[in-house]
């Protein structure tokens, strides 16, 4: 009997050892890396992708884009005050270093994210006070009723106050100023994975947090994650084909068919919540990169219209994107509340009319300008810029292309140093106000943090501000429609297309595409 027990114990130990040996390591790649580990420093997709593995938010959007509980288990408008949201917090949650998660961390994180250094502050402009009721209850007071506040919190990560204080990172990194802090390369979250090592733009390793509060809620089948960014499209595809990596976030469109037909691989697709467009600095008296002196061509609406009708979006869709895009007439994807096909009208290409408009504006011979473009952020971003450069040349606008890494591109953009630039925009709140508040609102401490065009419209600003407090759905819809009419008529941006999304992976991986392009690896499963 005694020997049977020993044998059984040895057998069990052997089984556990085998289970450990079979733990799944996910090796994946993408064109670019996170810009920083500081979760409040940059409101940028690939940066959020990494943060979502390590940190938690109060709420998040699942694979079907539905709002779901995370560190908050429930949330509601106070029955006593329509300007107050109350959040009930999850109990028994610990940070990776063992510190307990409490309301103090939420209050700290919201206030930290409202700091001037934070690129997340635009999501919290209506929040005037955040307070602790008890260890697991937080109240947020807004400057009037704000029925959409929870929508703004899906990328608002919660930090450990004690860890931040101990490591002198109570303030967000000054990304624009090139600041380096402990939070830039280190992290202590409550998320499903712990940071093991971080070499920016080279390699990041995470391991599963077996103490995660959602260990028995989500599949959590990945035990180790190794991310290796690869800027070269051909090299990324080759890495997947050779088995060097298991999952590719942004497979090159020219290789989709080859990858999908390769033995052991599969490509999964869906429309992405992202629009690609060009921005023009129309607020300066003179462009910094143009041969026109004493005035700014972009300040003239006729010039902006000429450039808008010079872009052949169908050709970009067909040749550059290999069909993996939807030509756009508006900088908002069809997912977003307030979208209407009536305003997403793609202008017809008219080279002769464009030349006439330039002549009317006083530029019969065109002008020169530099177009700044990332080459490792969006699908075929540099190729898109090369294509439009040729199209603008047909109407006499001589564009010098400056293609560079996204770290340089976004730093210069946020410092207001670019005259003409490529940008892509997703809408995590799924509401038009997010687009207005960041891209069209007059740039100030309160809003317009990604409005690098110099555009300012007082009437639009008033409506953008008022719609955050309007609880009547019909009245709010009218406000949204009015602002879209204004900014579309002013031709503030040059929309190019709504981006399609493809994830390529080994065929033993069960992982549907999430339309924000956020792979929550805690949800990944393996086909048995």
Residue range 32-50, pLDDT digits in tens: 999 999 999 999 999 999 9
| pLDDT above 90: residue 62 | no
| pLDDT above 90: residue 280 | yes
Q: pLDDT-derived band of residue 132, with 50, 70 and 90 as boundaries?
A: very high
Q: What is the CA radius of gyration of the chain?
A: 24
- In the 8-state DSSP scheme, what is residue 138? E
pLDDT for the residue numbered 11: 38
| pLDDT above 60: residue 17 | no
Which H helix or E strand runs over 182? Answer: helix 182-185
pLDDT for the residue numbered 64: 84
Residue range 469-502, pLDDT digits in tens: 898 999 999 999 999 999 999 999 999 999 999 9
Which H helix or E strand runs over 208? Answer: strand 203-208
pLDDT for the residue numbered 445: 84
pLDDT for the residue numbered 65: 85
Longest dimension (CA), the chain: 100
The Cα 327–Cα 4 span in angstroms is 70
The Cα 191–Cα 157 span in angstroms is 10
Which H helix or E strand runs over 247? Answer: strand 247-248
- In the 8-state DSSP scheme, what is residue 180? -
The Cα 462–Cα 466 span in angstroms is 6
What proportion of the chain, given as a percentage, has pLDDT over 70?
A: 96
Domains located in the chain, CATH noted: 24-225+507-526 (3.40.190.10), 272-500 (3.10.105.10)
Q: How far does CA 87 lie from the centroid of its chain?
A: 25
Determine if residue 323 is left, alpha or beta; phi over 0 gives left, psi from -120 to 50 gives alpha, anything else beta.
left
The Cα 59–Cα 106 span in angstroms is 12
Determine if residue 229 is left, alpha or beta; phi over 0 gives left, psi from -120 to 50 gives alpha, anything else beta.
beta
| pLDDT above 50: residue 319 | yes
Q: pLDDT-derived band of residue 7, with 50, 70 and 90 as boundaries?
A: very low
Question: Which whole number is the average pLDDT over 289-304?
Answer: 98
Structure tokens given for 378: 């969006």
Sign of CA dihedral 116, 118, 122, 128: negative
Question: Which whole number is the average pLDDT over 192-204?
Answer: 97
Q: SS3 of 229, please?
A: coil
Q: pLDDT-derived band of residue 16, with 50, 70 and 90 as boundaries?
A: very low
The Cα 251–Cα 273 span in angstroms is 17
Structure tokens given for 95: 């940070």
- Do 203 and 185 form a contact (C-beta atoms < 8 A)? no
| pLDDT above 50: residue 21 | no
Question: Which whole number is the average pLDDT over 439-462?
Answer: 95
pLDDT for the residue numbered 416: 95
- What pTM, to 2 d.p., does this model score? 0.84
């Amino acid at each position: 009997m005694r020997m049977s027990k020993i044998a059984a114990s040895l057998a069990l130990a052997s089984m556990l050892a085998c289970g450990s040996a079979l733990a799944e390591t996910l090796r994946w790649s993408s064109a670019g890396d996170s810009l920083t580990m500081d979760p409040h420093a940059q409101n940028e997709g690939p940066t959020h992708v990494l943060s979502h593995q390590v940190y938690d938010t109060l709420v998040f959007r699942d694979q079907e884009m539905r709002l779901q509980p995370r560190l908050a288990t429930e949330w509601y408008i106070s029955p006593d005050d329509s300007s107050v949201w109350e959040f009930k917090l999850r109990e028994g949650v610990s940070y990776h270093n063992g510190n307990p998660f409490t309301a103090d961390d939420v209050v700290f994180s919201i206030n930290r994210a409202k700091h001037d250094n934070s690129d997340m502050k635009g999501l919290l402009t209506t929040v005037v006070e955040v307070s602790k009721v008890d260890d697991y209850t937080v109240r947020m007071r807004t400057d009037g009723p704000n029925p959409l506040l929870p929508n703004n919190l899906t990328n608002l990560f919660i930090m450990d106050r004690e860890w931040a204080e101990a490591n002198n990172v109570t303030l967000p990194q000054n990304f624009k100023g090139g600041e380096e802090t402990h939070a830039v390369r280190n992290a202590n979250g409550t998320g499903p994975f712990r940071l093991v090592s971080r070499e920016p733009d080279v390699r990041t390793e995470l391991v599963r947090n077996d103490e995660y509060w959602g260990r028995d809620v989500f599949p959590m089948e990945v035990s180790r994650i190794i991310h290796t960014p690869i800027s070269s499209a051909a090299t990324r595809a080759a890495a997947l084909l050779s088995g060097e990596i298991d999952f590719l976030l942004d497979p090159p469109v020219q290789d989709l068919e080859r990858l999908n037909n390769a033995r052991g691989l599969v490509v999964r697709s869906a429309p992405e919540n992202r629009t690609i467009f060009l921005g023009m600095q129309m607020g300066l008296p003179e462009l910094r990169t143009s041969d026109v002196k004493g005035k700014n061509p972009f300040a003239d609406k006729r010039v902006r219209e000429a450039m808008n009708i010079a872009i052949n979006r169908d050709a970009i869709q067909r040749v550059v994107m290999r069909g993996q895009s939807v030509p756009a007439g508006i900088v908002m994807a069809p997912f977003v509340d307030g979208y209407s096909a009536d305003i997403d009208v793609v202008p017809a290409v008219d080279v002769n009319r464009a030349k006439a408009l330039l002549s009317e504006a006083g530029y019969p011979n065109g002008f020169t300008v530099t177009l700044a473009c990332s080459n490792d952020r969006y699908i075929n971003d540099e190729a898109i810029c090369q294509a439009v450069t040729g199209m603008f040349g047909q109407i006499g606008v001589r564009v010098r292309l400056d293609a560079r890494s996204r770290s340089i591109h976004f730093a210069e953009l946020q410092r207001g140093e670019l005259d003409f630039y490529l940008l892509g925009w997703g809408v995590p709140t799924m509401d038009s106000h997010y687009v207005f508040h960041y891209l069209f609102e007059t740039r100030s401490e309160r809003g317009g943090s990604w409005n690098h065009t110099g555009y300012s419209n007082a009437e639009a600003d008033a409506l953008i501000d008022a719609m955050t407090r309007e609880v009547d759905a019909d009245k709010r819809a009218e406000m949204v429609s009015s602002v879209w009419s204004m900014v579309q008529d002013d031709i503030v941006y040059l929309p190019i297309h709504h981006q399609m999304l493809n994830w390529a992976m080994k065929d033993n991986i069960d992982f549907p595409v999430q339309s924000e392009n956020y792979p929550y690896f805690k949800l990944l499963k393996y086909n048995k």
